[in-house]
Structure 1
Amino acid sequence: MYKISDFAEMTGLSKDTLRYYAEVKLLEPAYIDPNNNYRYYDDGSYFLAILLVKLRSFGFTIQEMISVMEGESFSNLEDLLMQKRNKIQIQIEDLRLKIEEIDDFLASGKEENE
């Protein structure tokens, strides 16, 4: 079992983030000492925490991460990852088009000044 401070260091999640994840039922401690309310995490918690860190790095929202964690078999994880990938592709294309518009606008301004 790992104390919250040790677990935070191991996973890269802050203690505040771990407390918040427990509050929203995203990643609950494996054990809470009833005498002092210290939170303890286990190796299974570590796997889930690393998964959450990765999902967060992919831009998943808290609600999307909860959706992944609620599907205990993670069977919908691949679908959610593909949906996220597709959204990112659309955002990239939108940004590429905006860059083209900016370039065109700048070019038209230069033409007027000549």
Structure 2
Amino acid sequence: MEAIGERVRQRIRHTRMTQAEVARQSELSESQLSKSLAGSRQFSAPELVRIAHALGVSLHWLATGEPDPMEIRIAARHDFDGFSRSYTARNSEGDQQTLQDIALLYRQAYR
């Protein structure tokens, strides 16, 4: 099993940040980060949150090495016709009612 420290090191290499930059953005001393990466010191939960933010990864991935199953993903639900240069959305009939319901909810909540 890959350790959190190795995932942090991997991500540091990927982002091309220095350990000093990650330490500063995570409110750690360079010594604290270095010791945690070496395994002689454990990361605290708040430190992991700040490190995940600094490295642009989810806390779930940082802790487990797995993609976050609850991560929000936005997917395009349309087709583009290059000839007419127009977009069409399949199965969008129910979307309009859903959007109207959401708008109503916001209007009611913020009166």
Task: Give me the TM-score of the superposition, normalised by structure 1.
Answer: 0.30
Structure having the higher helix fraction is 1
